[in-house]
Amino acid sequence: MVRYPEFSDEPLSGRASNKYPMKGIVRTEDILGGEPRLAGRRIAVRQIAELAIDGGVQPAEVADQLEIELADVHRALTYYYDHPEEMATVRKRHREAMDRVREEALDPPKTATK
């Protein structure tokens, strides 16, 4: 699990923290490693941005794929663009975590290969 403690302006207690200026975007330390996400869902702002921006998927199609409202897609993209430094850090940490997982999968620890 990837954690992003530097984004918190106070310690998180495991309950959703909605310290963001945008309604519907929350961060919970024990869900998605503290990444900003849609309230009540395990869908990260990063995930929506990767589909819509990087993948070129239309917002309506993203909403359909993730079974969310179109407004939620626009809310997440607005948050993404309103918080560029935070989202760059989130994306970087996610890439690093994925790289570590790939490396471990290709080269498992010796104790696991009996």
pLDDT tens per residue across span 63-113: 999 999 999 999 999 999 999 999 999 999 989 988 888 888 877 667 655
> Which residues have a Cβ under 8 Å from the Cβ of 66 and sit 6 or more positions away?
43, 47, 48, 51, 73
* Residue 85 burial by Cβ neighbours in a 10 Å radius (0-12, 13-18, 19+): exposed
Q: How far apart are CA 109 and CA 66, in angstroms?
A: 35
* Residue 74 burial by Cβ neighbours in a 10 Å radius (0-12, 13-18, 19+): middle
pLDDT at 1: 39
Statement: the pTM of the whole predicted model exceeds 0.95: no
Domains detected in the chain: 5-107 (1.10.10.10)
Res 114 pLDDT > 60? no
**Residue 77's closest CA among 16, 24, 30?**
24
What is the mean predicted confidence (pLDDT) over 41-50? 96
> Which residues have a Cβ under 8 Å from the Cβ of 82 and sit 6 or more positions away?
22
Q: Which two tokens stand for residue 86?
A: 């935070």
pLDDT at 3: 41
